[in-house]
Chain A
Amino acid sequence: MSRIFEASGAPTLEVGAHGPVGLGRLRAFVEREQVYSWLMLTPPVLFLLAFLGYPFFYGVYLSFFHREVAGAASFVGLRNFVTLANDPIFWQSVGNTVKFTAAATVLKAVGGLCMALVMNQNFRMKAFSRAMLLLPFIVPTVLSTVAWQWILDPGMGLFNRLLVVSGLANPGPSWLGSPTLAMISIIMVNTWRGLPFFGISILAGLQTIPIELHESATIDGAGTWGRFRYVTLPSLLPVLFIVTTFSIIITFFDFQLVYVLTGGGPANSTHLMATYAYSISMGAGQMGLGSAVALSMVPVLGLLLVLLTIYVRKD
């Protein structure tokens, strides 16, 4: 670490007459790699413990208690989890969450890849287009979801107006009234919102692929598809893996979009684990049971984090 300071050419601290030895020792102590790294790590670790660790462990604690809002807690062991195991809506929300996450992630990955490949070409207004594509990611979710409510409105909505005007359907479908279409709608909105994250990350990955690889593949007779299949895709795999893993985690815990668009309805067909946990904890005031629902999401997150860690270390 000290080598870095020396090489940087930064002015060294003037040491006064009152203790050059003490300050020098302190500097030497601080600059030891083990000490310095912990000094740097401590603030974020404390931050994480306070704002992530505390709520998480409090949630774990609550899940073993029968605890209602403003009420006393009584230890119930695993009873909350047993209750959930026998709760058909919990299992429906688990199924919904898996379907929602899987479909939205695949769509975002494929769409993001296409978006990045297009954005990697040279065309007029490229920078402007790239900036515009980030919009869904920038607009606050609640705001864009309210706009989607209007877009999906059965009578006045953009989708159904287009379908009616083009003669494809009259009247248009009920996007949020049919259980199947409601699920498709939330997947669509989530994909729309998450696409730029994939697109921009993959674009960054694309730009790191050396042009020489493409040139030599072309000389070897590879066509467009061949270059994509054997040069671009393998080079992008590390980026794709990390972006997909992050996206799965974020999608798995999605709450705002569903809460605003459908509230988990109709007939629980779009209830995700996050919205179900919220309705039990904050709506019904059953903090223990709600925490148990939220905690049930942790094994999936844990597994993904393990996979991510293994991959990053291997890399």
Chain B
Amino acid sequence: MAQPAPPKASRRDFLKLAAGAATVATGPFISRHAQAKPTTITFARESSYVKNFDEHFQKVLIPAYQKSTGIKIEYQIQAAGGGAVPQLVSMVENKSGADLAWVQQEWLYRDALVDVSDIAEAVGKEQGGWYDEIKALSVDNGKWKSVPQANIGQVMVYRKDWFDEAGIKKFPDTWDEFLEAGIKLKAKGHPFGMSMGHGFADNYSWLYPLLWSYGVTVMDKTGKKVALDSSETAKAVDFVRRLYKEACIEDCVGWLDPHNNKAFLTSQISCTNNAYSIMVSAKRDLPEMGKVIDHALNPKGPTGQRYHSLVPVTHGVFAYGPDPQAAKDFLRWIMDPKQYRPWISSGDMYFAPYLHAFDKFPDWDIEPRVKPFQKVLETGKLTSWPAPANRAHGAVVNRWVVIDMFSKACTGAPTKSVIAEAVGQLKQIYGVA
């Protein structure tokens, strides 16, 4: 059978010339992909509470990346609500699923992540440098294993109208004042609802800062000595028991993370510790309530210090993926200010970047009631603080050791025994005497 004539040499030359010209024009980043075979990258992220944020990513960033590189991004949205970690764990165990992800609880599988120091350092350099505390999570043995995207701030969310009615014009500055305010509001039928159940953020987001503000940490700096066994812990436990009995709704001791949102939005409680999501829902569905919600920083403890718990969003690239470099290139691209700043803006500052360039980001001034979420970064600590954020620390959080110390006290157990049980568990988990 006759073969078609081969294309003329001049046409090939023209194509080569055109490709070369495109390479020079679009710079070194895109050039690598202009020559590479187009691929698909799967990016797994827990769904955001802010619709615009996900939509911006899907409708603006993904098409833009595909247009410039030819690489298709499969956006795999994981259900919010604590289910993402088991999915990530199972992905890592099976070496499949996604090329890069919001690597929640990355200490569980750091060995499966590639070194992204080049990206993190470049991003830090061009955007004012990183907040120090987040390095304790993302940097492992001197190498960045993830690139921090942002913090989901957790602060006090309260009904300003009810506080005003009770004569509390300014949100309490100390935990003692907080208790006093709670007693007044509970007497008026508006108790506090501070989560203490087996949830995944709203419980530790106030109990850990409270403990720290009493001058106590769970472990010492080395992570080899239990620091919880102290008289200050007993004071903190006694305080929480009193707060629960005198100022809170009874149910909150068993609450999972959706429960305080539900109780707040149905006007059952006047204050809780939560992310920005309650205000987002209220503004959307209950505009009247949306007007009277406000946020405040966690109160100070007996040490005079104020703390917050960080809830980090970090992105990591899996080493076992078919093309980790392509996933890294995409990660670098989304962290470029040209993409990153509009993406953060689209989330109405629900996500607060750990980069100092955002300290004076104009979007922080659009809604003054969101401002406390920026301040969280100044006093925010990881749940491991001051010890390393490692597997053992993760086990302590996920087995609710500290949370249950408080909730057991609230449900009737003596202070000494709840601390002793928690210390026993810590020793078993950390393998220390």
Establish whether residues A265 and B254, one from each chain, have CB atoms under 8 Å apart when the complex forms.
Answer: yes
Establish whether residues B256 and A178, one from each chain, have CB atoms under 8 Å apart when the complex forms.
Answer: no
Question: B408 CB to closest chain A CB, in angstroms?
Answer: 4
Question: A88 CB to closest chain B CB, in angstroms?
Answer: 6
Q: Given A69-B108, A279-B399, are A89 and B251 neighbors across the interface (CB < 8 Å)?
A: no
In the complex, chain B residues 376-422 whose Cβ is within 8 Å of any chain A Cβ: 391, 394-395, 398-400, 404, 407-408, 410-411, 413, 421
Among listed A126-134, A150-158, A295-303, interface-contacting one:
A150-158
Q: Is A263 an interface residue (CB 8 A)?
A: yes
Q: Given A68-B108, A285-B89, are A174 and B411 neighbors across the interface (CB < 8 Å)?
A: no
Establish whether residues B108 and A182, one from each chain, have CB atoms under 8 Å apart when the complex forms.
Answer: no
Establish whether residues B253 and A283, one from each chain, have CB atoms under 8 Å apart when the complex forms.
Answer: no
- Chain B residues with CB under 8 A of A86: 428
Establish whether residues B408 and A87, one from each chain, have CB atoms under 8 Å apart when the complex forms.
Answer: no
- Chain B residues with CB under 8 A of A282: 85-86, 89
Q: Is B117 an interface residue (CB 8 A)?
A: no
Establish whether residues A177 and B251, one from each chain, have CB atoms under 8 Å apart when the complex forms.
Answer: yes
Tell which of B85, B92, B268, B408 touches A70, judged by Cβ atoms closer than 8 Å: B92
Question: A58 CB to closest chain B CB, in angstroms?
Answer: 11
Establish whether residues A262 and B394, one from each chain, have CB atoms under 8 Å apart when the complex forms.
Answer: no
- Chain A residues with CB under 8 A of B268: 154-156
Among listed B15-23, B194-202, B224-232, interface-contacting one:
B194-202
Question: B404 CB to closest chain A CB, in angstroms?
Answer: 5
Q: Is B296 an interface residue (CB 8 A)?
A: no
A153 to B395 CA separation, bound complex (whole angstroms): 30
How many residues does chain B have at the interface if contact means C-beta atoms less than 8 Å apart?
44
User: Which residue of chain A lies nearest to B112 when distances are taken between CB atoms in the complex?
Assistant: A70
Give the interface residue-count category, chain A. Answer: 35 or more
Establish whether residues B111 and A154, one from each chain, have CB atoms under 8 Å apart when the complex forms.
Answer: no
- Chain A residues with CB under 8 A of B140: none
A154 to B254 CA separation, bound complex (whole angstroms): 12
User: Which residue of chain A lies nearest to B92 when distances are taken between CB atoms in the complex?
Assistant: A70
Question: B301 CB to closest chain A CB, in angstroms?
Answer: 23
In the complex, chain B residues 12-46 whose Cβ is within 8 Å of any chain A Cβ: none
Q: Is A280 an interface residue (CB 8 A)?
A: yes
Establish whether residues A266 and B197, one from each chain, have CB atoms under 8 Å apart when the complex forms.
Answer: yes
Establish whether residues A154 and B109, one from each chain, have CB atoms under 8 Å apart when the complex forms.
Answer: no
- Chain A residues with CB under 8 A of B196: 265-266
Establish whether residues B400 and A265, one from each chain, have CB atoms under 8 Å apart when the complex forms.
Answer: yes
Q: Is A268 an interface residue (CB 8 A)?
A: yes
- Secondary structure class of chain B's binding surface, majority of residues: helix
Establish whether residues B428 and A83, one from each chain, have CB atoms under 8 Å apart when the complex forms.
Answer: yes
Q: Given A182-B254, A262-B254, A282-B89, are A71 and B111 neighbors across the interface (CB < 8 Å)?
A: yes
Q: Given A70-B93, A179-B411, are A285 and B394 neighbors across the interface (CB < 8 Å)?
A: yes
Q: Is B123 an interface residue (CB 8 A)?
A: no
A179 to B409 CA separation, bound complex (whole angstroms): 12
A70 to B400 CA separation, bound complex (whole angstroms): 22
- Chain A residues with CB under 8 A of B410: 266-267
Q: Is B252 an interface residue (CB 8 A)?
A: yes
Establish whether residues B254 and A155, one from each chain, have CB atoms under 8 Å apart when the complex forms.
Answer: no
- Chain B residues with CB under 8 A of A154: 249-251, 268
Establish whether residues B254 and A69, one from each chain, have CB atoms under 8 Å apart when the complex forms.
Answer: no
Establish whether residues B197 and A262, one from each chain, have CB atoms under 8 Å apart when the complex forms.
Answer: yes
Q: Is B64 an interface residue (CB 8 A)?
A: no
Q: Given A88-B421, A269-B411, A284-B399, are A68 and B249 neighbors across the interface (CB < 8 Å)?
A: no
User: Which residue of chain B lies nearest to A287 when distances are taken between CB atoms in the complex?
Assistant: B93
Establish whether residues A267 and B108, one from each chain, have CB atoms under 8 Å apart when the complex forms.
Answer: no
In the complex, chain B residues 102-127 whose Cβ is within 8 Å of any chain A Cβ: 105, 108-109, 111-112
Q: Which 10 A-B pairs have the closest CB atoms?
A: A263-B198, A283-B398, A266-B254, A284-B395, A177-B251, A174-B250, A265-B197, A70-B109, A265-B198, A155-B268
| Between-chain CB contacts (< 8 Å), 11 pairs | A88-B421, A153-B262, A154-B250, A178-B250, A182-B254, A263-B256, A266-B197, A266-B253, A268-B408, A269-B411, A284-B395
Residues of A within 8 A of B (CB): 68-71, 83, 86-89, 149, 153-156, 174-179, 182, 262-269, 279-280, 282-286
